[in-house]
């Protein structure tokens, strides 16, 4: 069924509100990301925000989906020309941790805030866990392909994937809280070193 102009306008307005919450939350945190502040960022009235969203938490839930979608599309863009398994893994690491084209510090800062809210809000925790599970599944596939190419057992892939996710989540936290202390570009380099060493240390595949 084709979308009506009113439906399209509503979706566009909701997307603009979610996009406005991103920099506000990245700068001030969730608690101080008030409806008034989000409305100012979006160039709308608080009443319009309440028309499209019942609460600030509902905007946050939509923001989680937006951040996950951003991560997915950036990886697809980075990996479009990657033919070999290690190239795809490198593309994934650059998509998540690289500082080049398409890097979004506000997105990273907002994700850190989302993680904090996942501890407090069950609804956000469910979405956060789903996102982490998707990352684990994708990384396990990428690492399994790399291990198989090197004729190594794929058994370590889930553990390696979990380690990489933990490394990434920690680097996101540090980029928000201690960016001036950590060396520039360290996260992507450390992630690839961790993955490469794990792949090389895996037992050889049995004939």
Q: What is the pLDDT of residues 142-151, one digit of tens each?
A: 999 999 999 9
Whether residue 206 is contained in a domain is answered as no
Shared domain for 24 and 114, answered yes or no, is no
- The predicted pLDDT at position 6 comes to 54
Residue 33: which of 22, 42, 44, 43 has the closest Cα?
Answer: 22
36, pLDDT greater than 90: yes
207, pLDDT greater than 70: no
pLDDT digits (tens, 9 = 90+) for 81-104: 999 999 999 999 999 998 777 778
pLDDT digits (tens, 9 = 90+) for 149-184: 999 999 999 999 999 999 999 999 998 888 889 998
Shared domain for 84 and 133, answered yes or no, is yes
Shared domain for 49 and 67, answered yes or no, is no
- The predicted pLDDT at position 27 comes to 85
DSSP H helices, the chain, are 5-32, 35-42, 46-52, 56-79, 85-97, 105-120, 122-149, 157-177, 186-201
DSSP state string for 38-95? HHHHHTS-HHHHHHH-SSHHHHHHHHHHHHHHHHHHHHHHHHTT--SHHHHHHHHHHH
Q: How far apart are CA 111 and CA 44, in angstroms?
A: 24
Shared domain for 103 and 176, answered yes or no, is yes
Shared domain for 3 and 89, answered yes or no, is no
Higher-scoring residue by pLDDT: 157, 109:
157
Q: How far apart are CA 192 and CA 165, in angstroms?
A: 12
- Residue 6: give the domain boundaries: 1-53
- The predicted pLDDT at position 87 comes to 96
- The predicted pLDDT at position 29 comes to 85
Place of tokens 């609804």: 123
> Among residues 17, 33, 53, which one ends one of the domains?
53
Shared domain for 120 and 190, answered yes or no, is yes
- The predicted pLDDT at position 7 comes to 60
Q: If you ran DSSP here, which 8-state letter would residue 121 be given?
A: -
Shared domain for 28 and 72, answered yes or no, is no
Q: Please report, for the domain that includes residue 40, its CATH number.
A: 1.10.10.60
Shared domain for 74 and 143, answered yes or no, is yes
Q: Please report, for the domain that includes residue 107, its CATH number.
A: 1.10.357.10
Higher-scoring residue by pLDDT: 26, 118:
118
- The predicted pLDDT at position 4 comes to 47
What is the tally of structural domains in the chain?
2
- The predicted pLDDT at position 153 comes to 96
Shared domain for 74 and 174, answered yes or no, is yes
Do the beta carbons of residue 118 and residue 125 sit within 8 Å? Answer: yes
């Amino acid at each position: 069924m084709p979308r009506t102009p009113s439906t399209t306008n509503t979706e566009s307005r909701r997307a603009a509100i979610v996009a406005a919450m991103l920099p506000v939350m990245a700068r001030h945190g969730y608690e101080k990301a008030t409806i008034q502040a989000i409305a100012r960022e979006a160039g709308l009235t608080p009443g319009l925000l309440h028309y499209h969203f019942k609460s600030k938490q509902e905007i946050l839930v939509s923001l989680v989906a937006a951040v996950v979608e951003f991560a997915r599309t950036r990886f697809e863009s980075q990996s479009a020309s990657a033919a070999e398994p290690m190239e795809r893994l490198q593309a994934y690491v650059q998509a998540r941790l690289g500082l080049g084209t398409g890097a979004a510090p506000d997105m990273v800062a907002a994700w850190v805030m989302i993680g904090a809210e996942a501890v407090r809000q069950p609804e956000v925790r469910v979405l956060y866990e789903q996102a982490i599970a998707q990352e684990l599944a994708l990384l396990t596939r990428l690492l399994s392909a790399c291990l198989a190419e090197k004729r190594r057992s794929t058994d370590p892939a889930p553990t390696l994937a979990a380690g990489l996710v933990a490394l990434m989540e920690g680097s996101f936290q540090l980029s928000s809280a201690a960016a001036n202390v950590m060396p520039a570009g360290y996260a992507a380099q450390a992630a690839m070193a961790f993955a490469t060493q794990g792949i090389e240390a895996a037992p050889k595949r049995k004939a």
